[in-house]
Amino acid sequence: MCATCGCGPTDHHHSHDHGLSQGIEQNTGKKIVTVEQDILQENNLLAQRNRGFFEGRNILSLNLVSSPGSGKTTLLERTLTDLKGQLEFAVIEGDQQTANDADRIHATGTKVTQINTGKGCHLDAHMVLHAVQGMKLKPDSVLFIENVGNLVCPAMFDLGEAERVVVISVTEGDDKPLKYPDMFHSSTICIINKIDLLPYVNFKVDKAKEYARRINPNLEIIELSCTSGAGLETWYDWLKSKVLLPV
């Protein structure tokens, strides 16, 4: 179903209806149709379409996922402010109800589009497709997509992003990776945020990293604090290394 344009599942399509199978009539008069199709196929096709769009324009797309309150919006505010003039940014904010996060991004002077997911607990490729249609994204830019705060559902829905950034904060348990393995498995980089609070909480950074790498040995991990600024340079360097600027 299309939460963005309010269309039903059969009213409009962005992909061709390939894969429709012809049933085989049984002597009972019933028909058996062999389907063998992935349930997420529709989303995956639209995600690939988004990915092609981004790659064709050299837009670095990042899908930010976390539990509520880990610091996704704060990290964006810092990044957009600190790298202003160095990189071109745009933001899609996924939120279940309010426009608070979009307002915070807007205040940094960055172009932002809000997707209200209502009851939906994740963004999907279809929503991103429609959001992007209205955005006039610049080539050679960076697009941040802040997903709905939840480490379960967004794991299953590819948006067409180049990088999936999972954010956890030290006020959460250091066993977070073990509790939400799918998200850590599908992410490419993990931010451990709020390290300024480490003296006050019982969070073992090494343990969290070890758990995360058990699930995903290739995961990059950056520890930082949006409040004190510690570690932000490492994040900015990583970000810049992913942007393929034209020479």
Ligand X SMILES: Nc1nc2c(ncn2[C@@H]2O[C@H](COP(=O)(O)OP(=O)(O)O)[C@@H](O)[C@H]2O)c(=O)[nH]1
**Counting Cβ atoms within 10 Å, is residue 39 exposed (0-12), middle (13-18) or buried (19+)?**
exposed
Residue 2 interacting partner from ligand X, Zn ion, Mg ion, none (CB closer than 5 to 8 Å by kind): Zn ion
**β-pairing verdict for 60-66 and 89-95:** unpaired
Among 45, 83, 87, 121, binds another protein (CB under 8 A): 121
Contacts with ligand X: how many residues (CB under 6 A)?
A: 16
Among 40, 196, 221, 236, binds ligand X (CB under 6 A): 196
Element (H, E) at 218: none
Question: To the nearest whole angstrom, how small is the minimum distance from the Cβ of residue 246 to ligand X?
Answer: 32
Question: To the nearest whole angstrom, how small is the minimum distance from the Cβ of residue 72 to Mg ion?
Answer: 5
Element (H, E) at 6: none
Nearer to Mg ion, 76 or 170 (CB): 76
CA–CA dist 101, 146 (Å, integer):
9
Nearer to another protein, 71 or 177 (CB): 177
Q: Which stretch binds Zn ion (CB under 5 A): 1-9, 197-205, 206-214, 232-240?
A: 1-9
Residue 71: other Cβ atoms inside 10 A: 22
Residue 240 interacting partner from another protein, Mg ion, ligand X, none (CB closer than 5 to 8 Å by kind): none
CA–CA dist 193, 224 (Å, integer):
5
CA–CA dist 42, 126 (Å, integer):
9
Among 27, 34, 97, 202, binds another protein (CB under 8 A): 34
Q: What tokens were used for 72? A: 């996704």
Q: Note the residues at the interface with ligand X (CB under 6 A).
A: 66, 68-74, 149, 193-194, 196-197, 225-227
